[in-house]
A and B are shown apart, each in its own frame.
Chain A
Amino acid sequence: MSIEQHDVRHLARLAKLALDEPDIPALATELARIVEYVAELAAVDTTGVEPWLPGAVPAAPLRPDTPARGLSAELALDQAPRRRERAFAVPAFVDDE
């Protein structure tokens, strides 16, 4: 699997990154090298092996179901780069593709 420039543009769209066009050729080369390296995993025999996550945590214990106060709206909005009244402000998006 090699990564071409059009693949980088596609991935950037999926990842919501607006890459600068001049950066794309170098990114494609770097990603291609890394993907070529990680492709060595294909050679490992994983027949009958299940996907694995750290099992050290015995069972995620549940919190007691007691009401607690969360962040106030004012505190949550305190660091917002743009807000409108008691809400985060975003551009209109209903007419996006």
Chain B
Amino acid sequence: MSESVPSLVSGVQAGRLSAEALTEGALGVIERAGPLNAFLHVDGEGARAAARGLDERRVRGDELGPLAGIPIAVKDSLCTQGMPTTAASRSLTRDGSARSGWRPPYDATVVSRLRAAGAVIVAKTNQDELAMGSSSENSAFGAVKNPWDLARTPGGSSGGSAAAVACRATPLALGSDTGGSIRQPAALCGVVGIKPTYGRVSRYGLIAFGSSLDQVGPLATDVRSAARLLGVLSGHDPLDSTSATVPVDDYEAACERGARGLRIGVPSEYFASGLSPEVERAVRAGLDALRDAGATIVDVELPHTRYGVATYYVLATAEASSNLARLDGVRFGLRVEAERGNLDGLYGASRSAGFGREVQRRILLGTFVLSSGYYDAYYAKAQRVRALVARDFERAFARVDAIAAPTSPTVAFRLGERLTDPLAMYLADVYTLPASLAGLPALSVPAGLSTATDADPALPVGLQLIGPAFAEASLLALAACVEAACPPSTPEPWA
């Protein structure tokens, strides 16, 4: 599937392609992609029925939506009616197996929007448990593997969604991004990933992690496909009180705008120690492409970048410890009766059996930073530093239209390499966290591959573009210029 989504949709609408054939194609790749462990639930029957229905509607002359017939994979932390939803956590299963996953009585708003646009939901994707992680190894159902090299992680937490797109099972997938969970796996898998502005896309039906940070967004094979999906997802939702009423731009038209006249800031703080030379080389080549396309490149300063990781891990864990209180073994999910048969015993036994190590660690940390005696020193302090991070961006955006930087300091790392060192894993998000803290839109676009050596294969590098609130269109215009200089590539076995 090398055509972009807008072209595939035109094919379906004109009868050149059938939704059924596209769905069969996707299901075939998903079957071959078993070793990636990217999918937790595949709905062949439901997808085939939806695709058949679309083809019949076309024959009848009905108007088909902007994603007509496009197979899509959905991160398992989004509620899907009729399909299990576990967020890769045992806590959202009946007996610990993915098959016994919770079946939500409603669709997330983004899922309803997909169905209304004619997309065909073929599968739910694996991820870090409850979106907590940067490698998709924290899943209760086994680690996801990177389609470029099965010995490496796809990044996380939306690793299954990134792998699904990278192996070309589906041209589109939904992810969620709290501190980089769309952009970092997109970078490590060589696909496009967008974290929209906080408030741009509804979170209704997203299993909450950090409510002041979470956003749902697209992963896609290419920039124009991502733009099409973002247009479908964006807009106000009365079911999410944080969703904005700001008008939605024409994102696809923006992809044709070019870079002429745009000013791009490059922050030295994002090119500091810890950045792999191969990542820097590819990102700087991407900046050259933007300059060649007519953009002006200037230096900017984001001095509080270095506090992003600490600020984020205080605020996100505090919010998580509160959000996850709802997983208690009473209304849905895993229930473990304690030896001491009281309510506290039920909570403790169910939650300890339901949550993996990283989730428990973050709940404990969040409980600590919110506890009496430490609240001001950690939580309130982090909220203030968050203001300074946001102020850095505000100052920069007075001078530039967008900021360009690496998405991840390294290419995909090996499975197991950082599992025993939580702090090393947290530092994988050093370049994605500041935009999340400031609620700004940011995307990752492929900027080529690292150089292969005897020890390492060539692996994808992502260039990150960050913009002012609701400036997704400018970011897409620039991303299209990077893509023109550096077309999407597919890992060998899946090409």
Contacts and interface: CB of A to CB of B under 8 A. Distances in A.
B380 A92 contact: no
A18 B352 contact: yes
Interface in B316-357: 321, 325, 328-335, 337-338, 341-349, 351-352, 355, 357
Contacts of B245: 58, 61
B422 A46 contact: no
A3 B357 CA distance: 17
A92 to B, nearest CB: 7
A11 B361 CA distance: 10
A54 B439 contact: yes
B314 A41 contact: yes
Given A35-B368, A54-B198, A79-B103, A18 B348 contact: yes
Interface in A20-60: 20, 23, 27, 30-31, 33-35, 37-42, 44, 46, 49-58, 60
B455 interface: no
Given A90-B343, A91-B341, A60 B367 contact: no
B383 A79 contact: no
A39 B349 CA distance: 32
Given A34-B365, A35-B368, A52-B386, A18 B381 contact: no
B346 A91 contact: yes
Interface stretch (B305-313, B457-465, B480-488): B305-313
A80 to B, nearest CB: 6
A12 B380 contact: no
B364 A27 contact: yes
A88 B307 contact: no
Given A17-B364, A18-B338, A88-B330, A52 B390 contact: yes
B105 A78 contact: yes
Interface residues of A, number: 56
A78 B103 CA distance: 9
Which of B198, B331, B341 counts the most A-chain CB atoms under 10 A from its CB?
Answer: B331
Contacts of A41: 307, 310-311, 314, 378, 381-382, 385
A58 to B, nearest CB: 7
Given A56-B439, A88-B330, A19 B381 contact: no
Contacts of B364: 8, 11-12, 15, 17, 27, 31
Given A37-B423, A38-B313, A52 B383 contact: yes
A16 to B, nearest CB: 4
A81 B334 contact: yes
A35 B368 CA distance: 9
B52 interface: no
A91 B365 contact: no
Interface of A: 1, 3, 7-8, 11-12, 14-20, 23, 27, 30-31, 33-35, 37-42, 44, 46, 49-58, 60-61, 63, 71, 75-76, 78-82, 88, 90-93, 95-96
Nearest first, the 8 A-B pairs at minimum CB distance are: A54-B439, A18-B348, A52-B387, A51-B383, A81-B335, A93-B343, A46-B384, A57-B199
14 contacts: A14-B367, A18-B351, A30-B361, A40-B310, A41-B381, A42-B377, A49-B388, A51-B384, A52-B390, A56-B439, A71-B106, A79-B105, A91-B341, A96-B343
Given A57-B242, A91-B337, 6 more contacts: A34-B422, A37-B309, A56-B244, A80-B331, A81-B335, A92-B341
